[in-house]
Structure 1
Amino acid sequence: MKRVALWLVQEVGVGNVFTKEQLRTTFDGVSQVDRRMRDLRDHEWQIDTNREDPSLDPREHRFVQQGLPVWQPGVGNRKTTGSVGAVQRRAVLVRDNYLCRTCGIGNGEAYADDSAATSQLDIARRQVSLPDGSTEVQLVTECNRCRVGGRDAGSDLRAFKAALETLSAYERKMLSAWMEQDARSFNEVEKLWGVYRTLPEPARDQARSMVQ
């Protein structure tokens, strides 16, 4: 595992793609070298496959982020994160209603901007800033596209609390109702506003003249 980590840092480089064949050729004769590489994920290393990054070929990996220096004495013997087991994964999916909590798409559904691409739900780890100023990693359901596009995304409950305090009693009650339903209904004015925002500039001019 330590040798693989040094190879990734010194030969591959963060952000670059390598293949399974390159890994096995470099460590010819090393038993289960693929597994040794996967073990790095327990030490905060991020190495994506085409499951996390659909732009990759099934034979490719992308070295996304260097984690702990496992080649240093004692570091490689400590696991910082465990893998998400099947029972825990199912519990998170059920809790999140089998929906991506970033874009709202369900598993296997086609994306609106690309009917040929379908979503694949997985479990992501997200840094959450808590109201007391501490941070912790929490599990959340995300689709493969949102995981790739939001690798550095986090959640800030302190900012949420500050914004909440600016709301009126009526607005807080309305927000509470949406939270209970885990859904929000849009009235006709809001729907038309959404349509208007998608129009090209000449069409927006015409739309404004219709309202006046």
Structure 2
Amino acid sequence: MTAENRADSRDYPAEAYAPNGQLWWRLRYQPGSRRRFGDERKLAAWLTFNVNEGDTFTMADLRRALGDEVPNDAEHLNRRLRALRPDGWRIPSNTDDRTLPIGTYRLEAKGWHPGLGPRPKRDAVSDADRRRIFNRDGWRCVVCGVGSGEPYPENPDSKAVLTVGHRVARDLGGSVELDNLQTECKRCNEPLRHELGFPETLTELLPEVKRFRKSELETLLSWLQARQRIRNRVDAAYDRARRLSEGEQERLKHTLRTMIQGSR
């Protein structure tokens, strides 16, 4: 069943209404003030009381539900939906699940909404910590190994974007301490954390490692000491070159062609 097939006029529980008696997603201003009531809060409230977990909805559903109170801009709504993730919401789109039509979303898990009270405080990762984590992890996803801007082997048209993820997901009690944070591509980010639950432990890994030959043990140790799978100097230069601007990459390619021709 899709949200499009459900009527918007129905009896709602008390939690669906703000103190002034309006439905949360119909509010223009924060209760008791003249500050605008945020679009994320409206989306969270409407989804909570109008879409069941496992059901789908579309951008058209959201626009009809929120009326003229939000911009008629798909990317604006997309950003607002993504901003709900730290509050416990899981809402995959076609980008996350190719079985979904473009513009259609599936509600997998509900999180905080205004009827529950004040919004939980978020522990943001600072820009300095974000760069520290990326540098520590070699600017590669620790889950699948893809580098920033690299195409996925099975989908060359889709390029990886790195983000900071949690080893233990926040809604499972994970913190924002550096030891719980790691570099992940957006494809491997929170959905994988929920599928796997708690991360790998040493107790689970050791039985497999103890079956390795000496050469394999030495290789694994060298990778762990380097905090990355050791690649040759061409690999390392490529990683650095990928982070150059487009113009600098073009100049580098020209320089490489000149050097190659000069060595013949």
Corresponding letter in the other structure for 2:195: D
Q: Is 2:64 aligned against 1:25?
A: yes
1: CA distance, partners of 2:126 / 2:105: 22
8 Å CA contact 2:112, 2:119 repeated in 1: no
2: CA distance, partners of 1:107 / 1:166: 33
Match of 1:147 in 2: 189
- TM-score of the two chains, using structure 1 as the length reference: 0.59
Provide structure 2 residue ranges, at least 5 long, that are not aligned to the other structure.
1-39, 232-264
Identity of aligned residues (%): 26
- TM-score of the two chains, using structure 2 as the length reference: 0.50
Deviations 1:151-204 (A, max 9, x none): 42241325347538947995765532221122258xxxxxxxxxxxxxxxxxxx
1: CA distance, partners of 2:80 / 2:156: 37
Structure whose residues are more often strand by fraction:
1
2: CA distance, partners of 1:7 / 1:123: 29
- Equivalences, count: 176
* 1:85 CA displacement: 4.4
Match of 2:154 in 1: 113
2: CA distance, partners of 1:40 / 1:84: 16
Say if 1:148 and 1:157 are closer, same or farther in 2 by CA, change over 3 A. closer
* 1:63 CA displacement: 2.6
Aligned to 2:115, the other structure's residue is in SS state coil
Greater Rg over alpha carbons, structure: 2
* 1:26 CA displacement: 0.6
Over aligned residue pairs, what C-alpha RMSD do you find?
4.0
8 Å CA contact 1:42, 1:82 repeated in 2: no
Corresponding letter in the other structure for 1:96: D
* 1:101 CA displacement: 0.9
8 Å CA contact 2:113, 2:119 repeated in 1: no
Say if 1:87 and 1:180 are closer, same or farther in 2 by CA, change over 3 A. same
8 Å CA contact 1:121, 1:143 repeated in 2: yes
2: CA distance, partners of 1:143 / 1:117: 12
Corresponding letter in the other structure for 1:120: V
